[in-house]
Copies of this chain bind each other. A is one copy, B any other.
Amino acid sequence: MTGDPDRTAEAASHDDAIAHLLAPQSVAIVGASSDPGRIGGRPVRYYRQAQFAGRLYPINPNRNEIQGYKAYPSVEDVPDRIDLAVLAIPAPQVTPVVEQCARKGARAVVVFSAGFAETTAAGAALQHELAATAAHHGVRVLGPNCLGLFNVRAGHFPTFSSFPEAGLPLPGRVGLVTQSGAYGTHVLMQARARRLGVNIWASTGNEADIDVAELVEALARDPDTDVIACYLEGVRSAAAFLRALGASHAAQKPVILMKVGRSAVGAAAAASHTASLAGSDAVFDAAIRPFGVERVDTTERLLDLAYAASRSRLPRGRRLGIVTISGGAGVLMADAAEKEGLEVPPMPAEVQQRLIAANPLGSPKNPVDITGQALNDFGLVRDHVAALLEEADYDSAVGFFTSWPASSAIGPRLQAALREGTKGRGERPMALVMLAPSPIQESYEDDGFLVFEDPSRAIAAIGGMARLAVRLAMPLHRERPELAATAQPLPGHRLSEAEAKRLLGTAGMNLLPERLVRSAAEARAAAAALGCPVAMKVASPDIAHKTEIGAVALGVTSPAAASHAFDEIMAATARGAPAASIDGVLVAPMAGDGVEIIVGARNDPVFGPVVMVGIGGIFVEVLKDVALRVGAVDRDEACRMLGELKGFALLAGARGRPRADLDAAADAIAQLSAYALANAGRFETIEVNPLLVRPAGQGAVVLDALVVPAGPPGVPADGG
């Protein structure tokens, strides 16, 4: 987001502080220990092992030397400026030391110490004081109660995670941010077992100051990071988090996101564990949708996709070529591909003919089965793979060779054939499924292949890459839908149906030519003017379920019948809702045929206005079949929303119906979303239910509308 005009000097200064946090020249470790196993000893040990090129100053009043470094009694005794201080001291001492660090020029501190907001009210007060003091001195804080971070290329290890104990981390092009230090360490260990190098890792702990969003944004700017992985329990600031995703998108860096708390029990546990707003998981998904983000549910998926995306270009599209030496594995991978939204189209007919001529017992269609014949002629491997990538021109490919690479007799010939066969593949990713010792797998990785042991996991990673590629290719800043010039703002009070419809009309939505009548005579006249048949219903802000009390008449066939219906509706209302305030009776032409959809907006406490669309009735109410977006959507995006609905076939003309007017429906969605965004903060819910979408070319019309104004602060209304 460099060059973004809303980034202030303060933000630039923050970036600078984050740069000091991630790659300082001088580091003080306060509470440093000679014991390399203790919290204050581990970072010293790791810096030493990594041969940190900057200056390291252990601080300990009882030692002159710690693990080979000269030690100082206090930060103030260090004869140098300090860029970053690491605090491994009891909580009550943290804030005073931060002040000392500030005087030595420190721009950032990493606070390991626990005993802050994660404990008691007193701890929370301590954390508040820490944050305020640090902010006052312009010092940024990572933590408290965090495991710190590392930057492998910089030899920078301000962490007491046990992860580097087993050896310094592998280099790699992945950056990882985890709120939980303990789970972050677990992820790092699983990553190492998978030969995935993480260059920068940071854990954010209590997030008194620096949060996950800011670190993701820093990784988006970091030239040594190509892929950002992130483990998240809650978002502290929606705006900051979306800005970070925007920065990653702008830098064309995929973000692989594991956000836990989808389930009810999980969300409750996350809300109590972190202090962040849980928010609605569905709205979270809608909010991250425009960005180059793949959300995953398991650590394996996180790591597999980070591995694949950091070692290979993303595929251009979803077309996958599968080549195996076992028919069964091909079937398995074709199944997995469908599940991942990949396509497995057949090879061109002439290529199939050529391949079958060379290998009569094989299946050259796709999945391609070379069969064990490959053992007799490795030229078959070369030719089939080349055909897959060149002539069939698939966007990505996967090959199943089980333990062949591990065999000293077979392996080298297979590897040579694969090298030759993939010479012309350009930058298309190709994964190989194999079981072989790590050094052999690495030799294939050195050839540019992705290596997996499980075929389903290989396909899942390719699927994730293809989705990321599509999202990263979508421009981030789309045309905002224009708010109609005639649009009138929402007032702060509760609206009648007629008022709600009138305001949506000013925003550009189509209404029926409706009349409010107050007598049987007026009803007769209205029916005559509008043309029969008409629909009539009581107009009252107090009655939600008008049909149930008999206050609706449909298909009224004549002006005389309308006069009669008026009296019946008023009588029914007097019986069914004697206390209701009555504005009169609405008379409108019958709307005709079409598909009823629901279009609405509500105000999400985390992400602001959210627009929703679903097909009327059971689809929304029973199946929860809705599509959501955060903010306003244009017509194209509204069309995509409709296309996501499980019941979309109804609009597209299922069951012999005519195709509905999708353009008109999309326009209505866009108009409502623009109106909602323009009125953000003034409503809890705006809902058109139903919007009647008529057959193609005949438009879409608002039949009923409801606006719930924003409640008083602290008393959120039920926003549906």
Contacts and interface: CB of A to CB of B under 8 A. Distances in A.
Contacts of A647: 618, 622-623
A456 B269 contact: no
Nearest to A273: B327
A199 interface: no
Contact of A655 (B325, B363, B617, B646): B617
Given A182-B329, A338-B264, A162 B407 contact: yes
Interface string A316-347: 00000000011111111011111100001000
A272 interface: yes
A186 B179 CA distance: 37
A643 to B, nearest CB: 14
Interface string A184-215: 01100110010000000000000000000000
Contacts of A331: 233, 260-261, 266, 269-270, 273
Query: Which interface residue of A335, A363, A403 has the most chain B CB atoms within 10 A?
Result: A335
Contacts of A11: none
Given A298-B454, A403-B185, A622-B649, A263 B330 contact: no
A78 B447 CA distance: 52
B186 A263 contact: no
A335 B454 contact: no
Contact of A186 (B178, B185, B338, B435): B435
A335 B622 contact: no
A566 to B, nearest CB: 24
A297 interface: yes
A344 B162 CA distance: 30
B182 A326 contact: yes
A412 interface: no
A274 B365 CA distance: 15
A261 B337 CA distance: 11
Given A262-B338, A454-B298, A361 B119 contact: yes
A581 to B, nearest CB: 24
A654 interface: yes
A548 B657 CA distance: 11
A621 interface: yes
Given A263-B335, A297-B339, A361-B119, A435 B183 contact: no
A369 B273 contact: yes
A409 interface: yes
Contacts of A559: none
A225 interface: no
Contacts of A300: 454, 456-457
B361 A183 contact: no
A531 interface: no
Contacts of A363: 269, 272-273
Given A273-B369, A298-B457, A622-B649, 10 more contacts: A119-B361, A182-B402, A183-B326, A183-B332, A185-B403, A186-B329, A258-B332, A266-B338, A273-B330, A621-B654
Interface of A: 37, 114, 118-120, 162, 178-180, 182-183, 185-186, 189-190, 193, 231, 233, 258, 260-266, 269-270, 272-274, 297-300, 325-332, 334-339, 344, 360-361, 363, 365-367, 369, 372, 402-403, 407, 409, 435, 453-457, 548, 617-618, 621-623, 646-647, 649-650, 654-656
30 contacts: A118-B361, A178-B328, A180-B327, A180-B328, A182-B326, A182-B372, A183-B328, A186-B329, A233-B328, A258-B332, A260-B328, A260-B335, A261-B331, A263-B339, A265-B338, A266-B334, A269-B363, A269-B365, A270-B327, A273-B327, A273-B363, A297-B336, A298-B454, A617-B655, A618-B650, A621-B649, A622-B646, A622-B647, A622-B649, A623-B623
